[in-house]
Amino acid sequence: MDNDIILKLENVKKYFNPHANIIESLMKKSKEIKAVDDVSFELKRGKILGIIGESGSGKTTIGKLVMKLINPTSGNIIFENENINNFNKEETAKYRRNVQMIFQDPYASMNPRFKIKDVLKEPLYIHNIDGDEKVYDEMVIKALKDVKINPPEEFMERYPHMLSGGQRQRIATARALILNPKLVVADEPVSMIDLSTRAEILYMMKELQIEKNLSYIYITHDLSTARYFADMVAVMYLGSIVEIGDADEIIDNPKHPYTKALIAAVPDASSGRVNIIKELPIKGEIPNASDIPSGCRFHTRCIYAKEECKNNIPNAEKISENHLISCLFAK
């Protein structure tokens, strides 16, 4: 694999067994939930991939798979030319030092009884980082300075409840970066803070990405922040990627009907109003992941769907150098 590629997913699937009890399991009454279904993509070192989609699209499951919090049903997850599916306990621990996560709710992910310095020291203890308490304190102070928390000596003695939402998100970012990872999975990192603070947090994360040559997987439902933050965008629907490409090209020139529908719902920054599209290419609600439609999985909601869409699964086709779509008719 190209050394420029830090992460590669090859035909990754994650199916969950919903059987409530052993009787249902033996009788196989319920269907598998196809949370992620045949997903492939590459992420270059020092770049940001935004993964976008509605609730239930599978984007958070992708994050958990990359973090190795769950294992894939099939397919390969390659990190720096190594298949993480084959890692033993020691290799997994090393991998998790290099791949960290920023959670959606920074308060829920922190022990409320810990001071901020203890929240930030926890990864150092877990990964047995060399150094005594004085060294750890210095690392905490540097991490706080990196995320623009000043004065760090004062904030490290506070508790999570004493901080604003934006400050807590900065702490969550500092905790993820204190181990100097190579890849960060950010799951809706600004969705729970107010609008006025979101841009500041994303700008800070972008600065750190450039400074440390970080790679990010940015999971979001917000196309407007993805355009600002990400280099590449992958649009997911019902466990599958329907369109992927350069962020600006996807937003300015969407090809898949689902992508067009998502963009149509984004407020127009110039007018402050929702974009008006003559014909919104979507209808109904997202189907259950245990009962995925035949053929193109989007055909039940697509106003352009034809008979072929019900019977044929579209392959990902390249329409430009860095732009792929999975649609039988959108070109």
> Cα separations (Å) of 85 from 68, 72, 76, 77?
8, 8, 7, 7
Distance (Å, whole) CA 102 – CA 109: 9
pLDDT for res 282: 77
Supply the angle between the helices 165-177 and 195-212 in degrees, to the nearest 10.
20
Give per-residue pLDDT as tens, 253-265.
999 999 998 888 7
pLDDT confidence band for 29 (50 / 70 / 90): low
pLDDT confidence band for 109 (50 / 70 / 90): confident
pLDDT for res 17: 85
pLDDT for res 274: 46
Does the bond joining 151 to the residue before it have cis omega, within 30 degrees of 0? yes
pLDDT for res 24: 60
Give per-residue pLDDT as tens, 199-242.
999 999 999 999 999 999 999 988 889 988 999 999 999 999 99
What does pTM read for this prediction? Answer: 0.90
For the chain, percent helix, then strand, then coil, each to nearest 5? 35, 25, 40
Give per-residue pLDDT as tens, 72-87.
999 999 999 999 999 9
The full set of domains in the chain, from first to last, is 5-252 (3.40.50.300)
Give per-residue pLDDT as tens, 284-293.
788 888 889 9
